[in-house]
Structure 1
Amino acid sequence: MHILIAVVALASLVGLVVWSMSQPKEKLQAVWTELSASFSSKHKDLATPFRAWVETSALMAKEQALQAWLLGLPAEGLQALAEKVAEFCVEMDVELDWLFDADVDVDPNAKAAAEEMVIDYCKICLKAVQNQQIAS
């Protein structure tokens, strides 16, 4: 039985090699590009829209210390925080795009609640960082 499986696997591999040799180079490159694109960029850029929201949000402007801390984070730190915020939003059944996209069709009360939730989450993160600095 094992020999049969090995023969089938080998025949499939040989068939794949023969098929790839008969394909035009452009087609193979297109297939490879399509396959590799799904694996290469696992994380989309959240830092840029998150930073823009932090800079322009009226609710965030009321939290000057938090806003200053967020805007002072390096791009990698802001990306990591935005990814955690996005994960939290998924758990809470909230779309982070509600904050980033002015054209999104969402109830203004839901959008305001989402903003408050994200601000509260960021406040907790800031407090945790401050507590770690005190403990160090």
Structure 2
Amino acid sequence: MPKPQPRNLIFPVKTHSLTIYVSGSQTSTVADLKDEVLSAFQANVMNQVDGLPEVITRKDFELCKALRDKGRLTGKYDPLEESAGIKGLLMNWDTLAVQYRDPETGLPLPIELRVPSQYDDDEEPTSRGPPSEARSPPSKGKRKAPPQ
């Protein structure tokens, strides 16, 4: 039997290199989540992240759910209807993506997500290969009996 969903659900919403965490109840709609995301966009976030399109209203973007195949992400996204309730549609901690609309034509733009590097720009990953012979301690084990 699956675990019951909590009363308050949390959703990471990703766009470019930015992640916004929004919450909603079981009775919330996708429009309620979009209002929270819009509020976050208008809270001086635009100045901190380069390359974010300007968002003024809820009509400037869509929330999309990542599609999965056998538990793995496919890289494709399905736009969510604003009027749809999140109960049964989304699970707790489902990642959502922002799909912006072209301000001139109103057509949806491609979803753009950037994964930040795990390392600093001047830092390179260290090799995790076997230790070199110079650093390895002498082998200890059973010794042969000395000749008599």
TM (norm. structure 1) is: 0.26
User: Of Structure 1 and Structure 2, which has the larger fraction of its residues in helix?
Assistant: 1
Higher relative contact order (CA 8 A, sep 6+): 2
